[in-house]
Amino acid sequence: MVRPYTVTAGRTSASPQGARCDLIALVSLESAAPDVHDDIVLGPEHRSIIDMCRAETQTVAELAAGTEVPVGVVRVLLGDLLELGCVKVTSPVPPARLPAETILREVIDGLRAL
């Protein structure tokens, strides 16, 4: 068991870029990601996150659960991976931008009428 502050080297913020890593933010591998097998740059927790994202896009919460690392630590590690260009973090669509429920119901009713 390694202490969280050891994994993050005492850092508590995700990155200087200010990337938002909400629990439901989607994390995927960059298509042009650099070689991630450099033991000097990446620790085992970084590699675990990359391996999970290699299989499919994951949320920050799923990464924390899958790696068994606290969410705050995962956010800091994601900041490292963002700076290296290994991953991409996408914020989900806010509910205000989604179509209204009434519009969706009208579409469904219209499709049923066909």
* 30-48 per-position pLDDT tens digit: 876 556 555 556 788 888 8
Helices 60-67 and 44-55 cross at an angle (nearest 10°) of 120
Mention every residue, 6+ apart, whose C-beta is less than 8 A from residue 24: 59, 60, 61, 92
What pLDDT shows up at residue 82? 86
Give the pLDDT confidence score for residue 73 in this predicted structure. Answer: 84
Q: Which of 66, 72, 81, 69 is nearest to 2 (CA)?
A: 69
How would residue 106 be classed by pLDDT, with cut points 50, 70 and 90? Answer: very high
What is the per-residue pLDDT across 3-13, written as a single tens digit (0 to 9) for each?
655 566 556 56
Q: Does residue 47 or residue 18 have the better pLDDT?
A: 47
Distance CA 65, CA 45 (A): 12
Overall number of domains in the chain: 1
